[in-house]
Amino acid sequence: MDADVAERIALDEEPECEGFERVDRGDVRYKLGADALPWSNGVAYARWRPEEVEQRAKEIIALFRERGVAFTWQIGPNTDAVGLSRVLATNGLRREIDALLLVAKIPIRGRLATNDLRLVEEHDERSATDAIRLDRDRSQDEVRMRVEARMRYLGCPTRRGGGVIAYRRELAVGYGAWRYGSDGDTVYLHRASTLQPHRRTGVYSAILGWRLDRAVRDGKTEAVVVAERASTAPILMRKGFREVGALQIWMAV
């Protein structure tokens, strides 16, 4: 799998289940969500000539700001535009994620280390709330909105994804989501997080293994991950994933 295919899988979202409107103009694709949260609104890609980058980017930024919403802007290996990062920075966006696009054939050889974790598939309001509250910086209003959105997703009859929560005793200490590709062969692993005091204790590896095992049982043969360059990418590459490109996510709040 090359960078172009991997990036398409990462962009293979489910607007009918995730509750957003997808707008594809050809040169730029973005989504407009039902709430003002940054992960509900954003640009998936932009393909512009160097001389038009600044004007076009400012038009899209103005569109989101007129709606009064926070938003993200993803820049992938085949969806960058010369000078785009500079324009985003000068217009108040910050780079939120610096990641690598990694791929692997599955199943991956090797056994997971034993651990004291209990892994539970996300299935109801309690498990969704436990996952969202792993980020302790979120306000009660944001938690409520995210739980409501997640419950709509979990109730969607055509959804291709889900999530798993890792518990240590009764405490939720980690979470990871996945989405199967519409091609029928791939799994995209995303939104992995571990509670700060429990990092480097095997939580991420356990969540990774659970998701990969599930994908293999469901007949998937390849995995794609957007992994943060400084944290999860080295773990995945030691397990057999290989880099095919870089990806950044910028955010305006």
All residues at 6 or more sequence positions from 172 whose CB lies less than 8 Å from its CB, including other chains: 130, 131, 133, 134, 165, 166, 195
Looking at residues 125-141, what average pLDDT do you find? 90
Residue 110 above 70 pLDDT?
Answer: no
Burial 18-34 (b: 16+ CB within 10 A, else e): bbbeeeeeeebbbbbbe
Q: Is the pLDDT of residue 126 over 90?
A: yes
Higher pLDDT, residue 111 or 62? 62
pLDDT in tens, 142-179: 899 999 999 999 999 999 999 999 999 999 999 999 99
Q: Mean per-residue pLDDT for 91-117?
A: 89
| pLDDT at residue 152, rounded to an integer | 95
Tell me what the mean pLDDT of segment 76-92 comes to.
Answer: 88
Report, as an integer, the average pLDDT of 241-249: 95
Considering only residues 123 and 113, tell me which one the structure prediction assigns the higher pLDDT: 123
CB 162 within 8 A of CB 18: no
Confidence of residue 21 (pLDDT cuts 50, 70, 90): very high
Residues of the chain with pLDDT > 70, as a percent, come to 98
Tokens of 57: 């980017």
- Over residues 212-228, the pLDDT tens digits come to 999 999 999 999 999 99
Omega before residue 107 within 30° of 0, cis:
yes
The reported pLDDT for the residue numbered 67 is: 96
pLDDT at 112 over 70: no
Whether pLDDT at 98 is above 80:
yes
When pLDDT is cut at 50, 70 and 90, the band that residue 82 belongs to is confident
Q: Determine contact, residues 104/252, Cβ cutoff 8 Å.
A: no
Q: Give the mean model confidence (pLDDT) for residues 34-60.
A: 93
Contact 69, 42 (CB under 8 A): no
Query: Tokens for 67?
Result: 């709606």
The chain-wide mean pLDDT, for the chain, equals 93
**Predicted pLDDT of residue 111:** 59
Mean pLDDT across 90-95: 96
- The pLDDT score that the predictor gives to residue 79 is 76
Token readout for 21 is 């409107």
